[in-house]
Amino acid sequence: MSKASAMSGRAVTVSGISLSTALLLAFTGTTAGAAQHAPRTERVSTAADGTQGDGASSAAVTTPNGRYIAFRSSATNLVPEGVTRPGTYSCIRDLTTGEVTKIEQALSTPRLSADGRWATYTDWGSRNINVFLSDLSTGTRIRVGAPDGRERDLRTGRVRHFPGVRVLAVSPDGQRLLTRDADANLTLRGLRGGREIPVGHGRATAGSVSAHGRSVVYSTEDADVVPDDTNGLYDVFQWRSR
pLDDT at 159: 54
Residue 154 covered by a domain:
no
Give the pLDDT band of residue 148 (cuts 50, 70, 90).
Answer: very low
Domain extent at residue 115: 37-147+162-242
The CA angle 230-233-236, to the nearest 5 degrees, is: 100
- The residues, ordered by sequence, that sit 6+ positions from 71 with a Cβ below 8 Å of its Cβ are 44, 45, 57, 58, 59, 60, 61, 90, 91, 93, 109, 217, 219, 236
Q: Mean of the pLDDT values across residues 121-129?
A: 75
pLDDT at 222: 97
Residue 11 covered by a domain:
no
Residue 230 covered by a domain:
yes
Residue 111 covered by a domain:
yes
Residue 117 covered by a domain:
yes
Select, from the ranges 8-22, 54-68, 100-114, 151-165, the one with the highest average predicted confidence (pLDDT). Answer: 54-68
Residue 214 covered by a domain:
yes
Residue 234 covered by a domain:
yes
- Using alpha carbons, select from 119, 110, 44, 41 the residue that is nearest to residue 78: 44
- Using alpha carbons, select from 135, 130, 125 the residue that is nearest to residue 103: 135
pLDDT at 34: 54
Residue 22 covered by a domain:
no
pLDDT at 67: 92
Computed over every residue of the chain, the mean pLDDT equals 79
pLDDT at 4: 47
Check residues 87 and 224 and name the one with the higher pLDDT.
Answer: 224
pLDDT at 156: 55
Total structural domains in the chain? 1
pLDDT at 35: 61
Instruction: Identify how many contiguous H helices and E strands the chain contains and give both numbers.
Output: 2, 15
Check residues 11 and 185 and name the one with the higher pLDDT.
Answer: 185
pLDDT at 205: 87
pLDDT value at 101 more than 80:
yes
Give the pLDDT band of residue 13 (cuts 50, 70, 90).
Answer: very low
pLDDT value at 25 more than 80:
no
pLDDT value at 142 more than 70:
yes
pLDDT value at 215 more than 90:
yes
